[in-house]
Amino acid sequence: MSNLIKGKKHDWETVIGLEIHAQVKSNSKLFSSSSTTFGSKPNSQVSLVDAAMPGMLPVINKYCIEQAIKTGIGLNAKINNYSIFDRKNYFYADLPQGYQISQYKHPIVGEGKVTIDFKDGSSKDIRIVRLHLEQDAGKSLHDQNPTKTYVDLNRSGVALMEIVSEPDIRNADEAGLYINKIRSILMYLDTCDGNMQEGSLRADVNISVRKPGDDYGTRCEIKNLNSIKFIKQAINYEVKRQIEVLEEGGVIEQNTLLFNTSTGKTRPMRSKEEAHDYRYFPDPDLLPLVIGQSEIENLKNEIPELPDDRKKRYINEYNLSNYDASVLTSDKSVSDFFDSVIKVDSRLKKSSKIVVNWITSELFSLLNENDLEINNSPITPENLGKLVKLIIDDVISGKIAKDVLLEMFKTKKDPDKIIEDKGLKQVTDTSLIETIVDDVIDENHKMVDQYLLGKDKLLGFFVGQAMKKSKGKANPKILNEILKEKLSKKN
Amino acid sequence: MKLDTNTINKIAKLARIKLSEEEAEDLLKDMNSILDWVEQLNEVNTDSIEPLANISSSILPQRKDESSDVNSSDEILQNSPDKLEGYFAVPKVVE
């Protein structure tokens, strides 16, 4: 696939880098013991440290450090034994300290990489520059009152991991795949809940365009996007805007932009004259963070099977394609569900592709229609495994299995019980099928004559009639064989 | 290094401090003499020395991830000149 975009004058290449902010899944904040619960009463989870009362001192949360290290390991990144907390200075109503405690020149995690997988089976590495720990700011509500802004400090001081990528991303789809991959790694590690709606995961997107082979163009940064859909929309809009400006002979000004989700457009957030000068310096309230190699090794032992390892296992053990395996592993709960289905019977391993299809097409469409997540599926992995076993054993046809699945969804019943109660077992008894076929031939003399004269297409008609008579229970393979045989004898 | 009035005004703006022209002149003199004094450190060769983040040799103290629910809103909002339903109310800031 070409990554170049056709302009009016020549082709353009898009260069994108992402800064992802992932909230650490912890009980208390990074430097205070206030709760991190989402959606609580405004300003109810604010300690004197979070409110920046004079004389208050930050004390770091050990658990948050460990989660940042684990995430670094999951991103195949270097863990730095020595890192420093700095003050990033700026004034804003939801930042009571007047600075954010962050990490600047010495982050806790250094260079790493993640792999994204495309539909055509190919893949690409996106390099990570760094991951650092920092405090979240409070929340401002601007649209409640014409002259006031309302401020809630509950989120103020919550631990964030900022994950910065190299500008290795070339289009909106790659950006979507990249953020999905990061989200999936975080959720396997359980270091972030990955909830984009609640803002636990959000991204700033840096975008520039250039003629292929040129140096990087001037970039703009779109702030605070909290859904993959908006990220893609914002990128596509901004790329088009930058190309238009440049082709009309203009220049791109380095700007911070906001994306308006209702108009689908970007607009400048701060003008250049007021460009921020953060005046970083080491926070004198905090000593350097020293992490021993043994602590890193201990945390390595706690790392679970990650999406890429699981993907490899699926390819090797179950013979799945790279893409199927990456779709399945991108959501941990789907992948866990698949693992439990496969375990139901040793023979399912060979029919893994059928299992994948029943999960990703049939079960998913039922779940979607009913607005359910796989974790709340009324159909257990055990019962889905039993159903697939019934199909591969030729006990029921794929068509009847869909009805059984629906019944399982509604009643949570065992599929064996459902086909027993409803008498849905596939007919494989050849004498019974022969009788049905004889009846069909007797009742359709004209059609039989036409078929014998060469209208081969009519075979489908006979199969349909016979199926109908068997109430869909005749084994299609046996039925076809008998039908062809009997018709040929008529000649 | 010598500062000029523009730099003084920029620093003042970043710190949200309003300066009169006279104050800016005074501060320019003060800050230049402070910088001159600090610049004596340039006489020391520091080529092979890592920058020091903190002079203390102690280790960063760490705490367990335990949350204490304080239900702080009344106390936190006590000094706020303006509030509404548990929120601080401030003059409108929109970027």
> What integer pLDDT is reported at residue A8 of this predicted model?
83
Q: d(Cα A365, Cα A358) in Å, to the nearest integer?
A: 10
Residue A272 confidence (pLDDT) above 80: no
Q: d(Cα A43, Cα A137) in Å, to the nearest integer?
A: 13
Q: Around Cβ A310, how many Cβ atoms within 10 Å? A: 21
Contact A42 B14 (CB under 8 A): no
Average pLDDT over residues A235-258: 93
Domain ranges of chain A: 4-298, 307-422, 430-490
| Contact present, B62 and A62 (Cβ < 8 Å) | yes
Contact B69 A35 (CB under 8 A): yes
Q: State the Cα angle at A27 between A26 and A33, rounded to 5°.
A: 115
Residue B45 confidence (pLDDT) above 80: yes
In a domain, B31, yes or no: yes
- Separation in Å, CA of A277 to nearest CA in chain B: 8
Q: d(Cα A413, Cα A328) in Å, to the nearest integer?
A: 26
In chain A, residues with a C-beta closer than 8 Å to the C-beta of B66 are 27-28, 33
> What integer pLDDT is reported at residue A27 of this predicted model?
97
Q: Which of A28, A89, A269 sits opposite B66 (nearest CB)?
A: A28
Interchain contact A91–B (C-beta under 8 A) = yes
Residue B94 confidence (pLDDT) above 80: no
Residue A424 or residue A292, greater confidence: A292
Average pLDDT over residues A147-172: 96
> What integer pLDDT is reported at residue A425 of this predicted model?
73
In chain B, residues with a C-beta closer than 8 Å to the C-beta of A40 are none
Tell me phi and psi for residue A455, to 5 degrees.
Answer: -85, 75
pLDDT tens per residue, range A12-28: 999 999 999 999 999 99
- Separation in Å, CA of A220 to nearest CA in chain B: 16
Distance of CA A471 to the CA centre of its chain: 41
Mean pLDDT for chain A? 92
Contact B67 A33 (CB under 8 A): yes
- Separation in Å, CA of A229 to nearest CA in chain B: 23
Q: Which of A43, A63, A145 sits opposite B86 (nearest CB)?
A: A43
Name residues 331-350 of chain A within 8 A of B (Cβ).
none
Picking from A150, A272, A291 by the largest number of B CB atoms within 10 A of its own CB, the best residue to mutate is A150
- Separation in Å, CA of A332 to nearest CA in chain B: 25
Q: Which of B38, B39, B10 is nearest to B24 (CA)?
A: B10
Domain span at residue B30? 5-43
> What integer pLDDT is reported at residue A1 of this predicted model?
47
pLDDT tens per residue, range A80-121: 999 999 999 988 899 999 999 999 999 999 999 999 999 898
CATH number of A430-490: 1.10.10.410
In chain A, residues with a C-beta closer than 8 Å to the C-beta of B72 are 34, 43-47, 51
Share of residues in chain A with pLDDT > 90 (%): 70
Average pLDDT over residues A347-370: 92
Least confident of A5-19, A187-201, A443-457: A443-457
Q: d(Cα A462, Cα A476) in Å, to the nearest integer?
A: 12
Contacts of residue A24, defined as CB under 8 A and 6 or more positions apart, other chains included, come to A30, A63, A64, A67, A68, A133, A158, A159, A160, A161, A191, A192
In chain A, residues with a C-beta closer than 8 Å to the C-beta of B50 are none
Q: d(Cα A341, Cα A260) in Å, to the nearest integer?
A: 43
Q: Which of B66, B86, B93 sits opposite A149 (nearest CB)?
A: B93
Name residues 124-163 of chain A within 8 A of B (Cβ).
140-142, 145-153
Interchain contact A82–B (C-beta under 8 A) = no
In a domain, B28, yes or no: yes
DSSP string over chain B = ----HHHHHHHHHHTT----HHHHHHHHHHHHHHHHHHGGGGGS--TT-PPPS-S--S---EE-S-------HHHHHTT-SSEETTEEEEE----
For A287, the closest chain B residue by CA position comes to B60
Average pLDDT over residues A406-430: 84
Contact B62 A65 (CB under 8 A): yes
Interchain contact A279–B (C-beta under 8 A) = yes
Name residues 3-62 of chain A within 8 A of B (Cβ).
26-28, 33-36, 41-47, 51, 59-62
For A35, the closest chain B residue by CA position comes to B67
Contact B14 A279 (CB under 8 A): yes
- Separation in Å, CA of A92 to nearest CA in chain B: 8
| Contact present, A148 and B89 (Cβ < 8 Å) | yes
- Separation in Å, CA of B75 to nearest CA in chain A: 9
> What integer pLDDT is reported at residue A275 of this predicted model?
60
| Contact present, A394 and A428 (Cβ < 8 Å) | yes
For A270, the closest chain B residue by CA position comes to B95
pLDDT tens per residue, range A113-151: 999 999 898 999 999 999 999 999 999 998 888 999 999
Average pLDDT over residues B20-46: 94
Average pLDDT over residues A375-392: 93
Q: d(Cα A225, Cα A82) in Å, to the nearest integer?
A: 31
How many domains does the structure of chain B reveal? 1
For B63, the closest chain A residue by CA position comes to A61
Question: What CATH number does the domain containing B18 carry?
Answer: 1.10.20.60
Contacts of residue A163, defined as CB under 8 A and 6 or more positions apart, other chains included, come to A18, A19, A20, A21, A22, A71, A75, A128, A130, A131, A182
Q: d(Cα A365, Cα A379) in Å, to the nearest integer?
A: 13
In chain B, residues with a C-beta closer than 8 Å to the C-beta of A34 are 67-68, 70, 72
Picking from A24, A44, A256, A286 by the largest number of B CB atoms within 10 A of its own CB, the best residue to mutate is A44
Q: Which of A31, A36, A30 is nearest to A59 (CA)?
A: A31
Share of residues in chain A with pLDDT > 70 (%): 98
Residue A274 confidence (pLDDT) above 80: no
Interchain contact A92–B (C-beta under 8 A) = yes
Residue A484 or residue A270, greater confidence: A484
Average pLDDT over residues A183-203: 95
Residue A276 confidence (pLDDT) above 80: no
Contact B89 A153 (CB under 8 A): no
- Separation in Å, CA of A2 to nearest CA in chain B: 37
- Residue A157, token pair as written in the block: 């001081």
Share of residues in chain B with pLDDT > 90 (%): 61
> Is A442 in a helix, a strand, or coil?
helix
Predicted confidence band of residue A273 (pLDDT cuts 50, 70, 90)? very low
Predicted confidence band of residue A4 (pLDDT cuts 50, 70, 90)? confident
For A24, the closest chain B residue by CA position comes to B65
Q: Which of A28, A151, A286 sits opposite B90 (nearest CB)?
A: A151
